[in-house]
């Protein structure tokens, strides 16, 4: 099985645009820059480097653009998810200012590239509105506005309501010059431009490991090697890194409802609940799609998927009476960081030729684009004022550890080792479902496909040994500790794990 496992949900973008299948790498090669990962981070880096004349190779273990970039909702925003005032508390005023500006510059860059490369990707400038949740929201809009103005972002203003006819949002903050686009059309255009500039893209090519230092090299699962002067880890979670404690993984859920054309004002909306709801529209030929997301939880730590979609549908129907049929339901994964900013830059001082882009913090369209801009500058030897802001080696200060307790809560699910399985025998597993079976000291991840065929693998996560749990929505095995995910045949979908779930020894 490949990444398009049977049973996984299909996002709006995947349904409306083909993912880019390229040839797999067939021979060992040498290049200037090897980029692992063909999402928005990897392709933006590839685009900027090929434009600057570098020889670039991008490898992806699935289709190009088939990772979390295909699962996004593609709000382009400089309204920081964690709030500007928290970024100021954690990083100081200067870095907070640079961070906000960097997201605005990323939106400008996407607009510029789309124009220069004539990528028809529905790019649109829209306003964004941070609204108060009806219940459970943080009372922090005033504080956010005060901080924004003090740092010079006076374009952000208080508004009595967002401009949605049927939904009286009440007081909110308006963020002008945000953006939205069709992410896979954009990625397709980027890929085409990279190839026109001499870059080479390979899909179904899994990188197993890399070495940096004097002779950087990437080893591919099927045996080839790529020798490069620089390596960029754009794999969402950086391949082979030990940053999992700083990168808690979350699942988030999205619905897409059909609405009459232009019945809802084009804008971005986020409420201030935790987890928060995020809303936008996307144009189709003779109707629009209202895209509503939320209901986030730590990966592997919830299984009430229907209830989560149900709450999103209810929320939508109550506020958007124009919503008709629900056309799409999907979920995806994102990575928070311990301090609200992505990690972008040199992997470590001992591996100066290896770079990473990770920790999207729910803003991976812009963080991924910032990543491409910053890493390409570093590789090209150009100064970039953001290098320190996004430096991956920065440490959590005590104030951050106090404010974000979940950094240290990731080992709780080890308790699954001492509990029984979900079922006592494989006979109890119905078609299309999976369950953990306890057999002596062995934990088995067993899945029965729609034809009745049983797939069994070890249930021990190959990262650090937690027991995986079945995700009945995506038909995957999800690790509740640090967010690794595996297909029903055991292959890795999301890292930090690199190795497939182990085969079972003959009984």
The residue ranges that bind ligand FES (CB under 6 A) are: 244, 461, 463-466, 479, 481-484, 496-497
Select from 189, 368, 480, 483 the one that contacts ligand FAD (CB under 6 A): 368
Complex with ligand FES: residue 99 or 407, whichever CB lies closer: 407
Complex with ligand FES: residue 329 or 463, whichever CB lies closer: 463
Least Cβ distance, residue 140 to ligand FAD (angstroms): 20
Structure tokens, 185: 């059309």
Q: Does 188 bind ligand FAD (CB under 6 A)?
A: no
E strand residue ranges, 409-483:
433-439, 442-448, 454-458, 469-471, 476-478
Paired strand residues for 438: 443
Stretch that binds ligand FAD, among 22-30, 115-123, 191-199, 326-334 (CB under 6 A): 326-334
Least Cβ distance, residue 104 to ligand FAD (angstroms): 13
Stretch that binds ligand FAD, among 32-40, 141-149, 458-466, 475-483 (CB under 6 A): 32-40
Q: Does 308 bind ligand FAD (CB under 6 A)?
A: no
Structure tokens, 88: 């100021």
Complex with ligand FES: residue 146 or 489, whichever CB lies closer: 489
Among residues 424, 427, 428, which one has the least CA distance to residue 443?
A: 424
| Residues 94 and 198: beta-carbon distance below 8 Å | no
Complex with ligand FAD: residue 88 or 295, whichever CB lies closer: 295
Closest chain position to ligand FAD (CB): 364
Q: Is 414 exposed, middle or buried (0-12, 13-18, 19+ CB in 10 A)?
A: middle
Binding marks (x or -) toward ligand FAD, 224..243, rule CB under 6 A?
A: ----------xxx--x----
Q: Does 360 bind ligand FAD (CB under 6 A)?
A: yes
Q: Is the peptide bond before 275 cis (omega within 30 degrees of 0)?
A: yes
Structure tokens, 145: 């506005």
Complex with ligand FES: residue 339 or 416, whichever CB lies closer: 416
The residue count of the chain comes to 507
Query: How far apart are the C-alpha atoms of 462 and 455, rounded to whole Å?
Result: 17
| Residues 205 and 29: beta-carbon distance below 8 Å | no
Least Cβ distance, residue 463 to ligand FES (angstroms): 3
Q: Is 430 exposed, middle or buried (0-12, 13-18, 19+ CB in 10 A)?
A: exposed
Three-state DSSP class for 272?
Answer: coil
Query: How far apart are the C-alpha atoms of 421 and 167, rounded to whole Å?
Result: 46
Least Cβ distance, residue 33 to ligand FAD (angstroms): 15
Query: How far apart are the C-alpha atoms of 50 and 56, rounded to whole Å?
Result: 6
Select from 334, 347, 355, 477 the one that contacts ligand FAD (CB under 6 A): 334
Query: How far apart are the C-alpha atoms of 458 and 314, rounded to whole Å?
Result: 39
Q: Does 66 bind ligand FAD (CB under 6 A)?
A: yes
Three-state DSSP class for 36?
Answer: strand
Least Cβ distance, residue 437 to ligand FAD (angstroms): 29
Select from 8, 33, 39, 407 the one that contacts ligand FAD (CB under 6 A): 39
The site partner of 333 among ligand FES, ligand FAD, none (C-beta below 5 to 8 Å per kind) is: ligand FAD
Complex with ligand FES: residue 100 or 497, whichever CB lies closer: 497
- Site for ligand FAD, residues 270 to 299, rule: CB under 6 A: 293
Sequence-distant (≥ 6) Cβ neighbours of residue 111 within 8 angstroms: 123, 125, 179
Select from 9, 31, 67, 121 the one that contacts ligand FAD (CB under 6 A): 67
Complex with ligand FAD: residue 334 or 343, whichever CB lies closer: 334
First to last CA, the chain: 25
Q: Does 342 bind ligand FAD (CB under 6 A)?
A: no
Name the strand (E) or helix (H) holding 21: none
Q: Does 362 bind ligand FAD (CB under 6 A)?
A: yes
Residues of the shown chain interacting with ligand FAD in the complex, contacts defined by CB under 6 A: 36-42, 59-62, 66-69, 71-75, 206-207, 234-236, 239, 252, 254, 293, 332-334, 357, 360, 362-366, 368, 495
């Amino acid at each position: 099985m490949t990444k398009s496992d049977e049973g996984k949900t299909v996002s709006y973008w995947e349904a409306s645009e083909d993912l880019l299948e390229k040839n797999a790498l067939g021979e060992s090669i040498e290049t200037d820059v090897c980029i692992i990962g063909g999402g928005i981070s990897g392709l933006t880096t590839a685009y900027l480097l090929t434009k600057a004349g570098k020889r670039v190779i991008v490898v992806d273990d699935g289709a190009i653009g088939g990772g979390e970039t295909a699962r996004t909702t593609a709000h382009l925003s400089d309204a920081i998810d964690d709030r500007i005032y928290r970024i100021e508390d954690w990083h100081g005023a200067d870095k907070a200012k640079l961070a906000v500006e960097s997201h605005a510059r990323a939106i400008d860059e996407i607009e510029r590239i789309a124009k220069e490369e004539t990528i028809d990707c529905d790019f649109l400038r829209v306003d964004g509105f941070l609204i108060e949740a009806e219940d459970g929201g943080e009372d922090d809009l005033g504080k956010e506005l005060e901080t924004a103005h003090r740092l010079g972002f006076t374009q952000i203003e208080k508004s009595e309501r967002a401009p949605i006819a049927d939904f009286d949002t009440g007081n909110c903050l308006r963020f002008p010059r945000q953006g939205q686009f069709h992410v896979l059309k954009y990625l397709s255009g980027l890929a085409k431009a990279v190839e026109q500039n001499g870059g080479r893209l390979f899909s179904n090519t899994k990188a197993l490991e890399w070495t940096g230092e004097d002779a950087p090299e990437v080893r591919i699962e099927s045996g080839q090697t790529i020798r490069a002067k620089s390596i960029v880890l754009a794999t969402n979670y950086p391949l082979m890194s030990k940053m999992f404690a700083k990168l808690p993984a979350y699942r988030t859920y999205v619905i897409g409802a059909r609405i009459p054309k232009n019945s809802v004002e084009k804008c971005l909306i986020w409420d201030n609940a935790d987890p928060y709801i995020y809303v936008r529209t996307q144009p189709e030929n003779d109707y629009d799609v209202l895209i509503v997301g939320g209901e986030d939880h730590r990966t592997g730590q919830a299984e009430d998927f229907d209830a989560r979609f149900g709450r999103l549908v209810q929320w939508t129907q109550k506020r958007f009476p124009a919503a008709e049929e629900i056309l799409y339901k999907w979920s995806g994964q994102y990575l928070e960081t311990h301090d609200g900013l992505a990690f972008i830059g040199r992997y470590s001082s001992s591996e100066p030729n290896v770079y990473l882009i990770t920790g999207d913090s729910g803003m991976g369209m812009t963080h991924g684009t910032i990543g491409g801009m910053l890493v390409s500058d570093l590789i090209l030897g150009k100064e970039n004022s953001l290098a320190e802001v996004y430096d991956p080696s920065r440490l959590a200060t005590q104030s951050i550890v106090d404010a974000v307790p979940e950094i240290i809560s990731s080992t709780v699910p080890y308790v699954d080792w001492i509990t029984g399985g979900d079922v006592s025998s494989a006979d109890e597993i119905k078609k299309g479902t999976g369950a953990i079976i306890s057999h002596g000291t062995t934990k088995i991840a067993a899945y029965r496909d729609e034809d009745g065929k049983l797939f069994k693998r070890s249930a021990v996560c190959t990262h650090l040994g937690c027991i995986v749990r079945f995700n009945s929505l995506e038909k995957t095995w999800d690790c509740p500790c640090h967010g690794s995910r595996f297909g029903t045949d055991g292959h890795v979908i999301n890292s930090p794990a690199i190795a497939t779930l182990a085969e079972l020894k003959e009984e």
